[in-house]
Amino acid sequence: MSLQYIIDGYNVINHPLFKERVNGKIKNQRFALLELIKRERLAGSSKNKITVVFDGYPNPKDTPDFGESEGGRCIVFSGRETADEQIKKMLEGAANPRNAVVVSDDKEVKFFARAAGGRTLSVEEFIGLRERKRANKDSSVEPELTYSQRYKITQELRKVWLE
């Protein structure tokens, strides 16, 4: 059974865990996201299909090539709709929504995906799973705080100590 990953592209790009890795123009961040998905095999098996949904319209000069010939990967720009609306339409039109995995931190999208019978992953779970697996290989001690918790603490300490 192959899975269909539907990824809210800008939701991932704007997450602190992703921004920590990649800086620069939005074009470079889109390329970096697609490269990260390929390199780290974030969708698991190569049999799984991946669709990354971005808001707006593509710029032919800036549109990354995801290698659609490589195992059902594609990029979708939502046009006049939002990426959230496009993701919902994809779930409604899915032959088997139980095989869909939606990657987003948007609560409405996650609720819709679950109601349609699909699965959801937060951005942190999607990106962070590989990091945790690597960390577990390096160390038998698992971190006590999640990345989001560490990030919030760091931001609070910056306000107290640096401002």
Residue 13 has pLDDT above 50, yes or no: yes
CB 17 within 8 A of CB 147: yes
Q: Which residues contact 76 (CB under 8 A, 6 or more apart)?
A: 51, 52, 53, 54, 86, 90
What is the C-alpha to C-alpha distance for residues 16 and 39, in angstroms, rounded to an integer?
20
How confident is the model at residue 120, as a pLDDT?
Answer: 94
And the tokens for 95? 């032959």
Mean pLDDT of the chain: 81
How confident is the model at residue 63, as a pLDDT?
Answer: 59
Q: Are strands 49-54 and 4-8 parallel, antiparallel or unpaired?
A: parallel
What would the CATH number be for the domain defined by 4-162? 3.40.50
**Domain residue ranges of the chain, discontinuous segments joined by +:** 4-162
pLDDT, tens only, 49-69: 999 999 998 876 665 555 444
* Cβ count within 10 A of residue 15: 20
| pTM: predicted TM-score of the whole model, two decimal places | 0.73
Comparing 134 with 24, the larger pLDDT belongs to: 24
Q: How confident is the model at residue 71 (pLDDT cuts 50, 70, 90)?
A: low
Question: Which of 1-10, 22-31, 49-58 bottoms out in mean pLDDT, i.e. has the lowest?
Answer: 22-31
Residue 138 has pLDDT above 70, yes or no: no
pLDDT, tens only, 87-132: 999 999 888 889 999 999 999 999 999 999 999 999 999 987 655 4
How confident is the model at residue 25, as a pLDDT?
Answer: 67
- Per-residue pLDDT, averaged over 6-14, amounts to 92
Percentage of the chain lying above the pLDDT 70 cut: 79
